[in-house]
Structure formats: structure tokens, C-alpha cells
Structure 1
Amino acid sequence: MTGIRKVVAAVFAGLALALLSAAPAAAQADKLKLTVAGDGAEGVTIQATYADGRRLDQVVRLVLTATGPDGQRVGPVQLEPQPEGHGFYSSGPVLSTGTWKVTVNSPAPLQGKATATVQAKAAQSPPAPRPVAVTRPTDGGGVGGWWPFAAGGLVLVAAAMGVAMLFGRRRTATPND
């Protein structure tokens, strides 16, 4: 009976060691690392990963608040995940031009907080396309239109008639007597 007790005790000791070594990993799994940056215009982008660097595999709730020039405040704004990839969030155009202190929080169960300074700029539109002039030659100097086809057709008809006349003469010029 003592052998069975030793085996059971060893199993319980192994289980306890396994659970204690997994505790730090479990503690890291409930924390997020948030990377906050400007989007180049009037918005903010956020990349959320687990604290240990693994890619986020679920949707989390992120809330943005910002303080800008002259004490302007934005938020709280709940951020929605974007289709660019897991853990990618974007605010859209919520800031006005200037320097902003942006804070993003993630409440429990996956907690995280990040603060960054973002330079918001007015969104730029693409340059207007330059007009392209489309002209048609009116002096008849260019090749185009229907007349080259008509001239080619007339040449073909004349050549066919010439060949027919040439063979027709030969047949009639030979004596049949």
C-alpha cells in the first residue's frame, strides 16, 4: 500500500509544480500590449497583441480618449476592429489638426493601457488629374476614317477585273477548230 501512496503523492506533486509554473503564463494572458500611432490624417490606429507578443485571436473592447491643443477633449470613443488583421483597430477621423495626447484603455478581462502623442493633420485629397486634349485631324493629313478602306476595296476590285479579263481573252484567242 505504501507504493501506491508514493505514486499518488508524486502525481500530486507533479500537478502542483505544473500549475505553479503555468501561473505566470496565465497572468500574462489577461494583459494586452497596445501600440498607438497616428494614421497620417485625423485618426488613430491601434495594434493590440498579448503581453507576451502573441497575435490577438479575439475581439476586445478598446476605448480612446484624447486631449488636444487648447484643452480640447475627445472621447470616450469605443473603437471597432478593422479588417486589416487581428488586433488592428482604427478610430477614423476624430481629431482636429494639432498635437494630441491619446490614451487607449482595454477593460477586463484583457486589460491594457497605452498613451502616445499623435500629430493630427488635415486629410489630403489626391491631386486633380490634368485634362487630356483629344483632337481629330481636320486637314485630311492623318490616316483614319473610311476612305483608306474604300480605296483598298477599289484596288482589289480593279485587280480582280484585270485578272478576269486576262484569262477571258486567252480563252477566246485560242482557235477551237
Structure 2
Amino acid sequence: MNKTLRHAVTLLLAGLVLVLGASAASADNGPIKLEVTGDGGHNVNVVATWKNGKPVEEIVEATLTAKSADGRSFGPVRLMSASEGQNVYQPAEPLPNGEWNVTVTATKPSKAQAKTKVTAQDLAASPMAAAEAATRDRVAAADSDDSTDSSLLKIGLIVLVAVLALGAFAVIMRRRGLYARR
């Protein structure tokens, strides 16, 4: 392979690495936003997104505290990754029955705080709440799958364009006589 072709291939591969690296790094900068909702039962769902709306793919370190109107307190309880989605978190312990003013405080990957009111109750007491929680779970799982599919599609398209560009470059070099087999 002659020197010009080697340089072109090196530049193409370096550009590909920069594009892939830049897109991965750009998604994970800046402040995060927390959305806190009750699940209709004794649990709380916390969805972590970057301010640009993309899901936080890093591990979020956060705690939940709660105060009731009658003076009871709950927490701090550490949040754990939930099975509902990549950027969904739940407290390690369920909330006791009652009306709660919930505060979630994140420290990593950036500081954030969110507050909401939640009613914790047995799901048997509220069939509508159970149906709403199941719908939210399906939506969160579908959103997580969509973002993964979108990322894989983007990477595939970038690789395809790079291969086509390299092939076109080789054909041009061969026709101009700069690419000679030795």
C-alpha cells in the first residue's frame, strides 16, 4: 500500500474515532434533572435525565427522604437502579402508608434535587393506581429500548459511510495510478 493511501486510511479511522467518541461524550455532560412520581403503591420512581432530555446512562447516586403531615419522617434511603429502565431508580425500602412530601437528592453524576407529594397505600385499595403504574413501567421500558436502538443505528450508519468512503478513495487512487501493487 503506498504512502498516500496509508495516510488517507489513518485519517479516516482517526475521524471515525473522533466522531464516535465525541457523540458519546457530549451526551453525558452538564446538570441532570430528576422526575419523581409515586407508583400508586408503596414505591417511588425516579427518572434521571440530562437537561437536554437524554437518559442518564451513568450510575446515579441519590437518596430519598420524606416527611408526612402528621410529623413522621422516612429516610434517608439510598436509591437503587430499577428494572423498569436504565435511568429509573427506586428507594431501597418502600414508603409506609400515608401522605408524604418526598425529596430526592442526587450527588452523582451531578447535583440535583426534586420534591413531590406521594400517597403510599396498598395496591389492592386502588386498582386504578395499579393500572397506571403498569402503564408507566411499559412506557419506561419502551423508551429505554428506543434510545438503544437509535444509538446502534447511528453507529451502524457511521461505519457504513466510513467503509463506502474508504472504498471510493481506493478506486480513485487506483484510477489515478497512485495506488500500485508491489
TM-score by length of 2: 0.50
Post-superposition offset of 1:85: 1.3
Unmatched tracts of structure 1, length 5 or more:
1-25, 126-177
Distance 2:119 2:92 in 1: 14
The structure-2 alpha-carbon separation of the partners of 1:124 and 1:92, relative to structure 1 and needing over 3 Å to count, comes to: farther
Say if 2:63 and 2:79, in contact at 8 Å, map to a contact too.
yes
Say if 1:44 and 1:92, in contact at 8 Å, map to a contact too.
no
Determine the structure 2 residue equivalent to 1:95.
95
- Taking only aligned residues, the RMSD between alpha carbons, in angstroms, comes to 2.7
Distance 2:95 2:47 in 1: 19
Determine the structure 1 residue equivalent to 2:60.
60
Query: Could you say which structure has the larger radius of gyration?
Result: 1
Distance 2:74 2:42 in 1: 12
Q: 5 Å matches for 1:66-85?
A: 66-85=66-85
Pair 1:29 & 2:29 matched: yes
Distance 1:38 1:114 in 2: 13
Post-superposition offset of 1:122: 2.0
Post-superposition offset of 1:93: 5.2
The sequence identity of aligned pairs, in percent, is 33
Distance 1:30 1:68 in 2: 33
Distance 1:110 1:56 in 2: 10
Post-superposition offset of 1:83: 2.3
Determine the structure 1 residue equivalent to 2:15.
none
Moved beyond 3 Å, runs of 4+? none
Determine the structure 2 residue equivalent to 1:155.
none
Code of the aligned partner of 1:90: Q
Say if 2:77 and 2:93, in contact at 8 Å, map to a contact too.
no
Post-superposition offset of 1:92: 5.7
Distance 1:56 1:107 in 2: 13
Code of the aligned partner of 2:51: A
Say if 2:58 and 2:109, in contact at 8 Å, map to a contact too.
no
Say if 2:66 and 2:101, in contact at 8 Å, map to a contact too.
yes
Determine the structure 2 residue equivalent to 1:50.
50
Post-superposition offset of 1:107: 1.0
Determine the structure 2 residue equivalent to 1:132.
none
Distance 1:93 1:39 in 2: 14
Distance 1:89 1:109 in 2: 14
Distance 2:96 2:114 in 1: 21
Deviations 1:34-85 (A, max 9, x none): 0001111111111110111111111110110000131111111001001221
The structure-2 alpha-carbon separation of the partners of 1:60 and 1:93, relative to structure 1 and needing over 3 Å to count, comes to: closer
Which structure's relative contact order is higher, taking Cα pairs within 8 Å and 6+ residues apart? 2
Residue 119 of structure 1 aligns to a residue whose secondary structure is strand
Residue 124 of structure 1 aligns to a residue whose secondary structure is helix
